[in-house]
Structure 1
Amino acid sequence: MGVTTSARRLSGVNAGQRVRIRTVPDDDVRAHLLRIGLLDGPVTCRSRISNGPVIVERNGTTVALGASVADRITVSSDAD
């Protein structure tokens, strides 16, 4: 049991990669991401600034997530 080898933090995703958001430990952040449709399928990382925000996009919706938030979100590759 445990996390699959492809699971990682959103803060470690490179620009251009498509991933699925798996876990969001903060209830408020999870609710917001669900409302804007980012939990319904794969998201694309548009930009990642070292020690800064991660910008993700899905179906035309683009959101910047702060580094501390992105570091707590677990993602897996889109193929999983």
Structure 2
Amino acid sequence: MSEVLADVGSGESVRLVAVPDGDTRARLLRLGFLDGAVECRHHIRKGPVIVRRNGTDLALGADLAAEIEIERPRAEASD
């Protein structure tokens, strides 16, 4: 089962990897939110998820956040 943006807690960094709606995907791409890690600034219970990338905050509704698949950064292996 894939993780979605709605599963992310405040302060976590993730990559948005799958956005189901083409128009929303295009908007996020133009704003630079699909080019790297985003930080979850606030996750309001049963409400929007506010993410930040390059100094820009963006609120994504709860329904949309439940559909956007994410990838968590992998921990670096230490020798």
TM-score (norm 2): 0.90
Instruction: Please report the RMSD computed on the Cα atoms of aligned residues, expressed in angstroms.
Output: 1.3
Taking the aligned partners of 2:50 and 2:39, their CA distance within structure 1 comes to: 9
**Structure 2 residue ranges without an equivalent (≥5):** none
Taking the aligned partners of 1:47 and 1:14, their CA distance within structure 2 comes to: 7
Partner in structure 2 of residue 78 of structure 1: 73
Trace 1:1-80 onto structure 2 (pairs within 5 A). Answer: 7-79=2-74
Q: Displacement, 1:30?
A: 0.3
- Runs of 4+, deviation exceeding 2 Å: none
User: How many residues end up aligned between the 2 structures?
Assistant: 75
**Structure 1 residue ranges without an equivalent (≥5):** none
**What percent of counterpart residues are identical?**
49
Look at both structures and tell me which one has the larger radius of gyration over its CA atoms: 2
Q: Displacement, 1:61?
A: 1.0
Taking the aligned partners of 2:49 and 2:74, their CA distance within structure 1 comes to: 21
Deviations 1:30-72 (A, max 9, x none): 0000000000000000000111000000011110000000000
